Amino acid sequence: MKLSLRILFFLIFIYSSIPGYIFAEDKSSDMIDLDFEIPEVEKKPYSFNAEFKLSETIRGFDEDSLLFNQKYPEGRDDDTFFQTDLNLKVEGSYQIGIVKLYARLNGELYYNDDEDWENDQRTEEAYVSLLPSPSVTLDIGKKVSKWGKGYAWNPAAFFSRPKDIEDPDATLEGYYAVSGDLIKSMDSPLRTVALTPVILPVSGHINDEWGTERDILWGGKIYFFAFDTDMDIMFLIGEEVEDRFGADFSKNISVNFEIHGEAAIVLDYMKYITDHQGNLTEKKYNAKNYLLGIRYLTSHDTTYIFEYFRNGQGYTRDEMKDYFTLVEDGYQEHINSQAMAKLSESRQYGSQFYNRQTIMKDYFYLKVSQKEPFDILYFTPSVACIYNINDKSGSVTPQITYTPITNLEFEIKTSFLLGKDYTEYGEKLNDCKVYAAVKYYF
């Protein structure tokens, strides 16, 4: 089954790679019927959209890395890991008067050598909107609230789950909340003011990612559009969570140059730090996070996105070295005496605090993409780089997306992780990854 599926995958892969002209209708522009009826002109109360994705991920393990040794202290039979994913994302909406229902569901069926066939389903969003006028909206239900102006990171996105740095555009799952929009436009230098209040209940049954104690999180965002600049001020407060306040901005400097920034402060942030012996200490402080970025388009249609991120909640180089020492000592102890105590301790700290993306203090992100090179329409090669300034490690990810046929998208991505011993990217589980996917929208 596994083999046949992979053969099927690569057949589709090859099919989708065939240049568009194979499927082209032989029509010159003069033969196109311009007196057409646009079918989409007739509005229906409901809408339905879906995206089917078939993908294959191959990870090359770094068998010398500490996180590999932490996860597989006995080693593995093979040094590569294959996973085949079938993913279906369905979204639908229905509107009656001022009431609109919306839902987005995500179902995944995947196969890998470790787990065999597994599946996962989740409701990413499901909410009711009341739309009495263009200036007033009320949303109740599970909804994504993405705040902030950064591309790779959003330190001011207080009500969002963290982005996947390897795929910053991926859809996220929302939280159950009541939120609204009050918009006021004016004929003055301050052209728009918009208020977005958010009330997010927390308990053991709802939004439990925020805690299991009953609590209500209050938050809000005020948006200003003045002097051709977007500005937001936002906050989140609650009994059981750290209060946080933030601001962001974005502005086009010229026809091809945009700048943006975000800043946030998390009051009384509690950081858990282990020493090299596994003694966990707590450090409470006001964590300051900020981001500055640009988006620049050259005359050759090359787009540069460059961001600097200061993660005030992150670990220092010395704190990470202590953690890596704990992992290494735990592994050596296991090799020498089969003892698991220290290794288990490092695993626990890893899953709770350390084995995450963007875990240290200072990062650069650069993405360079070239629109339609060699006159190949809908073909975009790009390369994304993440650089950890503190330990000089990082990743390089060349990527190609191609849409030769309407609604059929082909994507291939290869990541290389680079870094010395005791660095974030040098000690990750794998040192390379190949990802190929075919997406069909309908």
Partner 1 sequence: MRKALLTAFMCLCISAPAFALDGNEMLEKVDRNLNPESFEMYRKLINIESDGSKKEFVMYSVKKGKDKIASVFLSPASEKGRSTLRVGENMWLYIPNVGKPIRITSLQSVTGGIFNNADIMRVDYSAEYNCEKVEPADDGHILHLKAKTNTVAYDKVKMRVYGERLLPDKLECFASSGMLIKTLYFKKVKDFGSGIVRPAVIETDSPLYKGYKSIIVFAKVKAKDLPDEVFTLNYMSKVEGLRK
Which residues, numbered 276-295, are part of the site for partner 1 (CB under 8 A)? 295
Give the residue from 236, 251, 254 showing the smallest Cα distance to 147: 236
Output b/e per residue, 404-420; b: 16+ Cβ within 10 A.
Answer: bbeebbbbbbbbebbbe
Given the complex with partner 1, which of 27 and 78 has the nearer CB atom?
27
Binds partner 1 (CB under 8 A): choice among 26, 77, 114, 209? 26
Q: How far is the CB of 181 from partner 1 (least distance, A)?
A: 5
- Residues that contact partner 1, how many (by CB under 8 A): 76
In whole angstroms, what is the distance from residue 169 CA to residue 277 CA?
Answer: 39
- In a 13 Å sphere around the CA of 199, the CA atoms on its Cβ side amount to 6
Residue 40 interacts with partner 1 (CB under 8 A): yes or no:
yes
Residue 329 interacts with partner 1 (CB under 8 A): yes or no:
no
Beta bridge partners of 91: 49, 104
Distances in Å between the Cα of 106 and the Cα atoms of 77, 83, 383 are: 33, 18, 28
Q: How far is the CB of 103 from partner 1 (least distance, A)?
A: 13
Residue 258 interacts with partner 1 (CB under 8 A): yes or no:
yes
DSSP output for 159-206:
TSPPP-TT-TTS----EEEEEEEEEEE-SSSEEEEEEEEEEEEESSSS
Given the complex with partner 1, which of 43 and 282 has the nearer CB atom?
43
Given the complex with partner 1, which of 151 and 153 has the nearer CB atom?
151
Q: Which of the stretches 55-63, 180-188, 278-286, 310-318 binds partner 1 when contact is defined by CB under 8 A?
A: 180-188
In whole angstroms, what is the distance from residue 138 CA to residue 199 CA?
Answer: 12
Q: How far is the CB of 246 from partner 1 (least distance, A)?
A: 14
Distances in Å between the Cα of 198 and the Cα atoms of 206, 217, 230, 264, 291 are: 15, 8, 20, 18, 24
Given the complex with partner 1, which of 114 and 169 has the nearer CB atom?
169
Q: How far is the CB of 157 from partner 1 (least distance, A)?
A: 9
> In the structure, how many helices (H) and strands (E) does the chain have?
4, 18
Q: How far is the CB of 76 from partner 1 (least distance, A)?
A: 34
Given the complex with partner 1, which of 20 and 73 has the nearer CB atom?
20
Locus of tokens 């089969």: 338
The backbone torsions φ and ψ at residue 92, rounded to the nearest 5 degrees and listed phi first, read: -145, 155
Reduced to 3 states, what is the DSSP secondary structure of residue 374? helix
Residue 171 interacts with partner 1 (CB under 8 A): yes or no:
yes
Which residues, numbered 358-417, are part of the site for partner 1 (CB under 8 A)? 371-372, 375, 377-378, 403, 406-407, 409
Binds partner 1 (CB under 8 A): choice among 53, 71, 76, 191? 191
Give the residue from 78, 50, 58, 49 showing the smallest Cα distance to 9: 58
Q: How far is the CB of 326 from partner 1 (least distance, A)?
A: 38
Q: How far is the CB of 128 from partner 1 (least distance, A)?
A: 14
Residue 53 interacts with partner 1 (CB under 8 A): yes or no:
no
What stretches of 203-358 adopt beta strand conformation (E)? 215-226, 229-237, 244-254, 257-274, 280-297, 302-310
Given the complex with partner 1, which of 43 and 338 has the nearer CB atom?
43
Binds partner 1 (CB under 8 A): choice among 6, 53, 76, 251? 251
Residue 335 interacts with partner 1 (CB under 8 A): yes or no:
no
Tally of CB atoms within 10 A around 265: 19
Residue 23 interacts with partner 1 (CB under 8 A): yes or no:
yes
In whole angstroms, what is the distance from residue 276 CA to residue 321 CA?
Answer: 8
Which residues, numbered 88-147, are part of the site for partner 1 (CB under 8 A)? 91, 95, 100, 131, 133-135, 137, 144, 146-147
Which residues, numbered 209-248, are part of the site for partner 1 (CB under 8 A)? 223, 225, 228, 230
Given the complex with partner 1, which of 3 and 36 has the nearer CB atom?
36
Residue 16 interacts with partner 1 (CB under 8 A): yes or no:
no
